[in-house]
A and B are shown apart, each in its own frame.
Chain A
Amino acid sequence: MSKPSPIRSGSRAGSLLWPAIGLVALLAGNLVFSPGFFHLEIRDGHVYGTLIDILNQGTRVMLLSLGMTLVIATGGVDLSVGSVMAVAGAVAASMVVRGSAPFGVVIAASLAVSALAGLLNGCLVVYARIQPIVATLILMVAGRGAAMLVADGQILTFEHPGFVFLGNGHFLGMPFTLTLAALALGATAWATRRTALGLFLESIGDNERAARFCGVETSRVKLFVYAFSGVCAGLAGLVAASNIKAADSSRAGEMLELDAILAVVVGGTTLTGGRFSLIGSMLGALIIQTLTTTLYNWGLPPAVAPVPKAIVILSVCLMQSPQFRERLSFARPQPKGSA
């Protein structure tokens, strides 16, 4: 019998438990019902398999949810990330197609535009005091139009080797996107936990007025997180464009803002702000992608797929609620300390 652990409400480790269990349960279900799900194969020095596909496909939502986590930690939300993806893809593709600038400049320009888009969201929230959901809805709608404008209403296809590598290349035997996601996660974790940014974000989300009274520059911090969310969306947009070797302004990142928000919520960060968990959001993104892939493998028509997806996500969210778990244990008395 394990020793009784002290109540650790608000601790980060505790909130990771349920998303982790959700992911493991999904994988276990696949182990039983989907033969070949865990099969890995090495061809030309690269690893292939369903698991690798999930990781690779999940990169976009993972990148988005990094920025989304920080925005949600302040009590806001960023609906524009899907459209910013389209803008970033369109900017990069149009530059590559013209072929005038070196690839480094293309990446830098595309991410800079994304950062500016995020900053615009931030200004609307901080200075115009528009509610985040409305402020970012503006760019969600307008962004796609801007992307169309950049791409001249065309689907811009490209063959630029560097750009194609971004979403399709391999590094150390694995898809390069994994390296990219790992780097982004590492950088974000470093920026939030090795500086005081994480504390500031959580204090703003928990009680913005008190945080301001403590001298936290709430406006600056919020501007930063929206801009950061823009950059994350830009990266995701580059990956998405690279995946299909084209910038499709009307489809790129479509509905992905919702997946990103879901990933964050499933990962244990509440929409009211405060405590956040980057690892939780990564788990959330993986849960969503695993589900999508699983349902696809089972041959479920894409139109029906959202239903089982919704059920799994709802159960993870419910299980995170202490009140709900309490009710469950009321309904079914369970022996204590059986773990």
Chain B
Amino acid sequence: MAPTSQSGCALLEMRGIAKAFRGVQALDDAQLTVRRGSIHALMGENGAGKSTLIKALAGIYALDAGSIRVEGIIVRPQSPRDAEAQGISTVFQEINLIPTLSVADNILLGRQPLRWGFIRQSECHRRAEAALKRIGLSIDVRKALNQYSLAVQQLVAIARALDVDARLLVLDEPTSSLDEREVASLFEVLRELKRRGLGILLVTHFLDQVYAISDTITVLRNGRWVGEFETASFPRAHLVGAMLGREIHDTPSAAPKTAVETAGEAKPPLLELRGLGKAGMLRAMDLRLRAGEVHGLAGLLGSGRTETAHLIFGVAHPDSGALLWRGVERSPFGSPREAMRHGLAFCSEDRKAEGILPRLSVRENLVLAMQANRGGLRLISRKEQAALADHYIQALKIKTPSAETPIQNLSGGNQQKVLLARWLSLSPQVILLDEPTRGIDVGAKAEVEKLIRSLRDQGMAVLLISSDLEEIVRTCERLSVMRDRRKIAELSGAEVQVSSILRAMSRHDE
């Protein structure tokens, strides 16, 4: 293991990396190797620990354990500035540039050439132009950054990162806001940098792009290292399987479904989408949700699952296609309230931003949707509220000191149960559940799944969005598979198996 400077020595070696946040183990014995003159993709689903790993590399987080070696020498970056001094430059997903400053200022901010304490503007411009030329971009560096497209801004961020004599360039989701043409030109720049011997670490969730550009792949799952693979000899299905923790050859965990649900075909769907979509968000999508049926929505992160729910629930507004409610075409719901009034409920995946009201009590969090649905004037009496809260605290086994405890004091699983109770109390006809079991412990997860099945038995139509394929297979009669913001397959009956979902998810475009 002795570091040598021969050609086999990796540019970056991270070994035994561990990091915990308030008791949650974000990284546990993770490792990563990037070689000179190669592009390495870091893959993993939400919560896999990708961003923690690169933030540790950039000196934003201090590690609990593990070592970082750059060309064999141990480094401990204390800040992004310090990491840059070690040759590690990171471009984060939210481009951290200042839109109203000039391109030149953005590239050189914090290290402008000075004379008598004043910035030498002409020298600045010259250096900025040189930095941009290195990645083949020639633009007016005196213009404000926000005058240029996002793709150019991304390139400027890369130019800034390279201007510090970087040996390793870390790119966090660099393509998430770029269109296909822009992605292609970005990749050209990356290939050129690679030819010059730079090591590039690419974090992305776009499978096609990983296969288009990377040489090697490291997969993380739940903070642990799954493996390192040669991209060329690693089939997509295996990659998807590694990310989700499933082997492609696994036998289906659930017994093959019988054809009982074909009877459901006769019933008209409660809610039907016909080519519903929105430019840049979701390609035209067909979907039928029937009473007494759990419909799964499977797909990787960013595949358009949540977007589908948003378009149905009136959070976002579709620009094409039609929505049928109980077989009658109508305009899509304009707001959550309108959707609720028709008997829809939507439990968001983003518990913190779209779910809880952190400082309000469990009781208030629980009754808010019901109260909003009733309108402001007809207050649900304090007594009814308390009864409702107590009922659900018992029914869903919510662990809380009292109904008056602020919800932020509860654990994630219990917060999730309160949010589920919020929507169940409305007795909706259609309920959209976006990752209802993410981040909650195994016991709570089993309870939530049981709950979903009981909702189906009560005659609700359930749309279950989940990254956990086994969960989908266990609970759904029918499912749609999403990829790259469109629906690519619908499976039902005996086809509802993990292996067929994986096959559909990783199938190469014709």
Are chains A and B native binding partners rather than an unrelated pairing?
yes
- By the criterion CB–CB under 8 Å, are A10 and B372 in contact? no
- By the criterion CB–CB under 8 Å, are B372 and A216 in contact? yes
Q: Contacts A194-B379, A206-B360, A210-B354 given; indicate if A215 touches B404 (C-beta within 8 A).
A: no
Contact of A214 among B353, B369, B377, B404 (CB under 8 A): B369
Select the residue from B353, B354, B373 with max chain A CB neighbours within 10 A: B354
Say whether B401 faces chain A, with CB atoms less than 8 Å apart: yes
Q: Contacts A6-B401, A212-B336 given; indicate if A199 touches B364 (C-beta within 8 A).
A: yes
Q: In the bound complex, what is the Cα–Cα distance between A333 and B367 (angstroms)?
A: 42
Select the residue from B355, B359, B373, B380 with max chain A CB neighbours within 10 A: B359
Q: In the bound complex, what is the Cα–Cα distance between A101 and B114 (angstroms)?
A: 72
Q: In the bound complex, what is the Cα–Cα distance between A206 and B356 (angstroms)?
A: 9
- Interface pairs (22), CB distance under 8 Å: A10-B361, A195-B376, A195-B377, A196-B375, A196-B378, A196-B380, A200-B372, A203-B364, A203-B368, A206-B358, A210-B354, A210-B356, A210-B357, A212-B336, A213-B315, A214-B372, A215-B337, A215-B340, A215-B373, A217-B337, A274-B359, A275-B359
Contact residues in A for B377 (Cβ distance below 8 Å): 195-196
- Please list the 9 inter-chain residue pairs (A to B) with the smallest Cβ-Cβ separation, ordered nearest first: A215-B372, A215-B337, A206-B357, A214-B369, A215-B340, A196-B376, A10-B406, A216-B372, A214-B368
Binary interface profile of A, 1-34, with partner B (CB < 8 Å = 1, else 0)? 0000010111100000000000000000000000
Say whether B31 faces chain A, with CB atoms less than 8 Å apart: no
Say whether A211 faces chain B, with CB atoms less than 8 Å apart: yes
Say whether A197 faces chain B, with CB atoms less than 8 Å apart: yes
- By the criterion CB–CB under 8 Å, are B364 and A202 in contact? yes
Chain A contacts to B: CB under 8 angstroms: 6, 8-11, 194-197, 199-200, 202-203, 206-207, 209-217, 221, 274-275
Q: In the bound complex, what is the Cα–Cα distance between A11 and B403 (angstroms)?
A: 12
Chain B's closest residue to A220 (CB) is B376
Contact residues in A for B361 (Cβ distance below 8 Å): 10
Q: In the bound complex, what is the Cα–Cα distance between A213 and B335 (angstroms)?
A: 9
Contact residues in B for A211 (Cβ distance below 8 Å): 357, 368, 372
- By the criterion CB–CB under 8 Å, are B372 and A202 in contact? no
Say whether B218 faces chain A, with CB atoms less than 8 Å apart: no
Contact of B376 among A197, A212, A213 (CB under 8 A): A197
Contact residues in A for B406 (Cβ distance below 8 Å): 9-10
Chain A's closest residue to B346 (CB) is A213
Q: In the bound complex, what is the Cα–Cα distance between A214 and B337 (angstroms)?
A: 7
Q: In the bound complex, what is the Cα–Cα distance between A199 and B378 (angstroms)?
A: 12
What count of chain B residues pass the 8 Å CB interface test? Answer: 36
Contact residues in B for A209 (Cβ distance below 8 Å): 353-354
Contact residues in B for A221 (Cβ distance below 8 Å): 376
Q: Could you tell me the distance in whole angstroms from the C-beta of A221 to the nearest C-beta in chain B?
A: 8
Say whether B371 faces chain A, with CB atoms less than 8 Å apart: yes
Q: In the bound complex, what is the Cα–Cα distance between A6 and B364 (angstroms)?
A: 19
- By the criterion CB–CB under 8 Å, are A215 and B369 in contact? yes
Q: In the bound complex, what is the Cα–Cα distance between A186 and B346 (angstroms)?
A: 37
Q: In the bound complex, what is the Cα–Cα distance between A257 and B376 (angstroms)?
A: 29
Contact residues in B for A6 (Cβ distance below 8 Å): 401-402
Q: Could you tell me the distance in whole angstroms from the C-beta of A204 to the nearest C-beta in chain B?
A: 9
- By the criterion CB–CB under 8 Å, are A10 and B360 in contact? yes
- By the criterion CB–CB under 8 Å, are A207 and B336 in contact? no
Q: In the bound complex, what is the Cα–Cα distance between A287 and B375 (angstroms)?
A: 37
- By the criterion CB–CB under 8 Å, are A207 and B372 in contact? no
Contact residues in B for A217 (Cβ distance below 8 Å): 335, 337, 372
Q: In the bound complex, what is the Cα–Cα distance between A210 and B359 (angstroms)?
A: 13
Contact residues in B for A214 (Cβ distance below 8 Å): 336, 368-369, 372, 422
Q: Could you tell me the distance in whole angstroms from the C-beta of A190 to the nearest C-beta in chain B?
A: 11
Contact residues in A for B368 (Cβ distance below 8 Å): 199, 203, 211, 214, 216
- By the criterion CB–CB under 8 Å, are A196 and B360 in contact? no
Contact residues in B for A199 (Cβ distance below 8 Å): 364, 367-368, 371
- By the criterion CB–CB under 8 Å, are A10 and B371 in contact? no
Chain A's closest residue to B357 (CB) is A206
Contact residues in B for A206 (Cβ distance below 8 Å): 357-360
Contact residues in B for A216 (Cβ distance below 8 Å): 337, 368, 372
Select the residue from B315, B372, B374 with max chain A CB neighbours within 10 A: B372
Contact residues in B for A207 (Cβ distance below 8 Å): 353, 356-358
Known: A203-B364, A274-B360. 6 other contacts (CB 8 A): A207-B358, A209-B354, A210-B356, A215-B337, A215-B373, A216-B372
Say whether B231 faces chain A, with CB atoms less than 8 Å apart: no
- By the criterion CB–CB under 8 Å, are A210 and B371 in contact? no
Say whether B480 faces chain A, with CB atoms less than 8 Å apart: no
Contact residues in B for A215 (Cβ distance below 8 Å): 335-337, 340, 369, 372-373
Q: In the bound complex, what is the Cα–Cα distance between A213 and B313 (angstroms)?
A: 9
Contact residues in B for A212 (Cβ distance below 8 Å): 335-336
Binary interface profile of B, 332-368, with partner A (CB < 8 Å = 1, else 0)? 0001110010000010100001111111110010011
Q: Could you tell me the distance in whole angstroms from the C-beta of A52 to the nearest C-beta in chain B?
A: 36
Q: In the bound complex, what is the Cα–Cα distance between A212 and B367 (angstroms)?
A: 14
Residues facing A in B128-180 (CB within 8 A) are none
Q: In the bound complex, what is the Cα–Cα distance between A217 and B360 (angstroms)?
A: 18
Q: In the bound complex, what is the Cα–Cα distance between A221 and B368 (angstroms)?
A: 14
Contact of B379 among A11, A196, A202 (CB under 8 A): A196
- By the criterion CB–CB under 8 Å, are B354 and A213 in contact? yes
- By the criterion CB–CB under 8 Å, are B371 and A196 in contact? yes
Chain A's closest residue to B402 (CB) is A6
Q: In the bound complex, what is the Cα–Cα distance between A211 and B354 (angstroms)?
A: 8
Q: Could you tell me the distance in whole angstroms from the C-beta of B429 to the nearest C-beta in chain A?
A: 15
Q: Could you tell me the distance in whole angstroms from the C-beta of B496 to the nearest C-beta in chain A?
A: 30
Q: Could you tell me the distance in whole angstroms from the C-beta of A304 to the nearest C-beta in chain B?
A: 39
Q: In the bound complex, what is the Cα–Cα distance between A8 and B361 (angstroms)?
A: 11
Chain A's closest residue to B347 (CB) is A213
Q: Could you tell me the distance in whole angstroms from the C-beta of B416 to the nearest C-beta in chain A?
A: 13
Contact residues in A for B340 (Cβ distance below 8 Å): 215
Contact residues in A for B359 (Cβ distance below 8 Å): 10, 206, 274-275
Q: In the bound complex, what is the Cα–Cα distance between A48 and B213 (angstroms)?
A: 86
Chain A's closest residue to B341 (CB) is A215
Binary interface profile of B, 380-413, with partner A (CB < 8 Å = 1, else 0)? 1000000000000000000001101010010000
Chain B's closest residue to A275 (CB) is B359
Q: Could you tell me the distance in whole angstroms from the C-beta of A70 to the nearest C-beta in chain B?
A: 13
Q: In the bound complex, what is the Cα–Cα distance between A6 and B400 (angstroms)?
A: 13
Q: In the bound complex, what is the Cα–Cα distance between A196 and B381 (angstroms)?
A: 10
Q: In the bound complex, what is the Cα–Cα distance between A215 and B353 (angstroms)?
A: 15
Contact residues in A for B346 (Cβ distance below 8 Å): 213
Q: In the bound complex, what is the Cα–Cα distance between A334 and B375 (angstroms)?
A: 49
Q: Could you tell me the distance in whole angstroms from the C-beta of A216 to the nearest C-beta in chain B?
A: 5
Q: Could you tell me the distance in whole angstroms from the C-beta of B385 to the nearest C-beta in chain A?
A: 9
Contact residues in B for A213 (Cβ distance below 8 Å): 315, 336, 346, 348, 354-355
Contact residues in B for A203 (Cβ distance below 8 Å): 357, 360, 364, 368
Q: Could you tell me the distance in whole angstroms from the C-beta of A228 to the nearest C-beta in chain B?
A: 13
Q: In the bound complex, what is the Cα–Cα distance between A79 and B377 (angstroms)?
A: 29
